[in-house]
Copies of this chain bind each other. A is one copy, B any other.
Amino acid sequence: MVATQKFVISTKGQGDAKDITEKVAAAVSASNARSGTATVFVIGSTAGITTIEFEPGAIADLNRVLERLAPRDADYQHHLRWGDDNGSSHVRAALLGPSVTVPFVDGALTLGAWQQLMLLELDTRPRRREVVVQIVGE
């Protein structure tokens, strides 16, 4: 069986991290599937999904490395095209990726105790993010 859940989450701009573990777990519960996969996918090309120990230190560390990798205030060819200022967002999002697929067994996601699902906003302005949780299971 396939079940689709969507939720919306508002972010404050680049570096804002949201723990979406509970929402994904709720989507799995609502599907009544016992075993399968939950594909967590963020719509848009300037945000990313990954797992992390969701505490402010680790998130700040990740953001600092991303800033060094693709600095917000550097020159980007993307800016020339649209007058945008979010070239750093596009590069970071392409590297981080828009989705993670997580198994679930007996109705529970197989995450570690210190491993949460995170949506990381990479755009330079606040955004309203739509996340699709696609459950395939039985």
Contact = CB atoms under 8 A, between A and B. Distances in A.
A90 B35 contact: no
Nearest to A79: B57
B81 A138 contact: no
A129 B65 CA distance: 26
A51 B112 contact: no
A124 interface: no
Contact of A45 (B76, B97, B115): B115
A90 B132 contact: no
Binding site secondary structure of chain A: mixed
A111 interface: yes
Interface in A77-93: 77-81, 87, 90-91, 93
B96 A2 contact: no
Contact of A76 (B46, B57, B96): B57
B53 A45 contact: yes
B137 A53 contact: no
The 9 closest A-B pairs by CB, nearest first: A103-B134, A57-B77, A57-B78, A45-B115, A44-B112, A58-B90, A57-B81, A45-B53, A58-B78
